[in-house]
Structure 1
Amino acid sequence: MHDAQSANSEHDTVLRGGEPGPRSLPVVTDTDPWKDIRLAKLNRKYLMRQRVVSGNPNEPAHAVFDVLRTRLLRTLHENGWNRVAITSPTDGCGKTFVAANLALSLARRESVRTILMDMNLRSPELADVFGLKTSGPLAEYLFGNITEADHFLRVGPNLALALNSRAEIDASELLQRPKTKETLEVMQMELEPDVVLYDMPSILKNDDLLSFLPQVDGVLLVVGGGITKAAEIRQVENLLADQVPLLGVVMNNEEDPLRSFFKK
């Protein structure tokens, strides 16, 4: 992992030069709880090595994630939702790659405040993907022992990251705890995010996501080209039926991941 560096300016991040939003860049004021979240600066070259490309307009996948972002925002807005679980049928489909790139794409929408949380508690990866030092175990935050200001990192004015430094063996039980539900509800009330992305474990691997479904409004499914079988997608659809909507499917072509596409 690489240490996070304090940004000299809230605009001095990989997100600079993004598309204009419907209003000017949100200002983090003295009374805004987002001001208490520590700023971190991302390293563009490191992100490119990690295939986090949506912050670079010269990359082909930049536009792909913008399309995904627009469709997702439209669906959330139309239904009054904001909590999205990102998962895959099995490991190796690139769900964390999609989660990181989608979060940065959302951050370029200047009026949209986004929180990305590493809820793959058994095998956290987002800290390494972003090249940032974590503030410790995410479980301490979910237990209510520390606050958002203690644990979250802020990338620019409108993207917050909740990273994780420790794998949890009892992840399913932790996700089902009433205290976890309470903590996330308080986060919603205090930070008032427009979108919350949860990077979750693969849904067919264990019951972690199934136990967490009451805390999400919908699921975005990432399938791997040449990896995911049609029967696995049907199995996921059956698991989600009558519980939460499947918002869409992202086909991630592992042979050329920068040419992934979104289909509804």
Structure 2
Amino acid sequence: MERIQSAIAKARAARSGLDPADPAPATGPAPNPATAAGPAPAPMLLGPALRPAEATAAWEALPLSPPDRALLERQRIIGGTGHSETGAFDMLRTRVLHQMRSKGWKRLGITSPTPGCGKTTMVMNLGFGVARNAEQRCILLETDLRRPSFGKKLGLRGGGDFAKVLRGEAEFAQAGLRCAQNLAIGACAGPVRAPAELLQSSSALTALAGIEEIYAPDVMIFDLPPMLAGDDVMAFAGQLDCVLLLAAAETTTVKEIDVCERDLATQTNVLGVVLNKCRYMDRTEGYGAYD
């Protein structure tokens, strides 16, 4: 793991002309001088007292359909189960939320260089982890339109189609549901043709703005496609406040990480790179539950 981290740091330094020993600067699009001196961002977490009554009513109107716990554990979705091994997800959740809150951000995308890195599982675990806080509402949105998998992972049968919401053919109230009291999802019924075109369409942007306004979530997490599989992520990244890049240990190369991180930084803010599927962990990386 240390070798991978060192290689990533060297790649970043080579791009920016910095000494690898210097702290890495935050990656993201250049600030707009016209807005750089604007007012401080509003707090991200609304809480029950600040949330509009209309948003609460709309949220509670979404059908509640908790997935089977045994199915979640088989799919390695343990963020909402109270499992003793949730520590790593909880630490990532807390760090991500802290940084997003400090910037006033709500829209987080999660992608990977290639398929098979575990990004959808990460999306689910982060979402369920966020929703464990009774004062936070989270919406997970399926924007990996070529290979949607929310339905399989959550055991959904029928229901709405989030792709129709993006096309302006349905409201989120018809397609969305809640997997927990504070966690809503928008799942696609199947693969979508011309996904990049749909993701950057005016109907999709209008739909997302409407969801944010009507339901007032604290966090919206987008399951993005793998970056190197097409142009879908680059077509949509500008609509996100920030992105996490997920790499798979022993599979993802440093070059792939470097290319993806560089390209993402031209469109949005890169929160960091998360190494997944690491088989060899030091004992200090986690200690399970308290006795």
Q: Which residue of the other structure, out of 166, 175, 195, is the alignment partner of 1:171?
A: 195
Alignment-mate amino acid for residue 35 of structure 1: E
2-side partners of 1:200 and 1:27: how far apart? 28
CA apart distance, 1:94: 0.5
| Contact 1:93/1:254, CA 8 A, preserved across alignment | no
- Partner Cα separation in structure 2 for residue 50 and residue 28 of structure 1: 35
**Equivalent residue, structure 2, for 1:232:** 256
Match of 1:202 in 2: 226
Q: Answer yes or no: is 1:114 the counterpart of 2:144.
A: no
1:86 and 2:136 matched:
no
Mark the structure with the bigger radius of gyration. 2
1:180 aligns with 2:204: yes
Moved over 4 A (4+): 21-31, 254-257
Equivalent residue in structure 2 for 1:49, among 74, 80, 99? 74
Whichever structure has more helix as a proportion of its residues is 2
Q: Specify whether residues 169 and 106 from structure 1 end up closer, same or farther in structure 2 by C-alpha distance, changes over 3 A only.
A: same
> Do the aligned residues in 2 keep the contact of 1:141 with 1:147 (CA within 8 Å)?
yes
Match of 1:75 in 2: 99
- Tell me how far apart the structure 2 counterparts of residues 56 and 156 of structure 1 sit (CA, whole Å): 11
CA, structure 1 residues 184+256, in 2 after alignment: closer, same or farther (shift >3 Å)? farther
Matches within 5 A, 1:1-264: 32-60=57-85, 62-253=86-277, 255=279
Deviations 1:75-131 (A, max 9, x none): 111101010111001111110110111110011011111000111001001111111
Task: Give the TM-score, by structure 2 length.
Answer: 0.76
* Runs (5+) with no aligned partner, structure 2: 1-44, 286-291
Question: How many residues are matched?
Answer: 238
What secondary structure sits across from 1:155 in the alignment? strand
Rounded to whole Å, the distance in 2 between the matches of 1:182 and 1:57 is 36
Q: Deviations over 1:229-255 (max 9, x none)?
A: 001111012112232111122211264
Instruction: Kindly indicate whether the alpha-carbon contact (under 8 Å) linking 1:152 and 1:163 is maintained by their aligned counterparts in 2.
Output: yes
Task: Give me the CA root mean square deviation.
Answer: 2.6
Distance, in Å, in 2 between the alignment partners of 1:256 and 1:155 is 32
Find the aligned partners of 1:59 and 1:24 in 2 and give their Cα distance.
29
Distance 1:25-1:123 versus aligned 2 partners, 3 A rule: farther
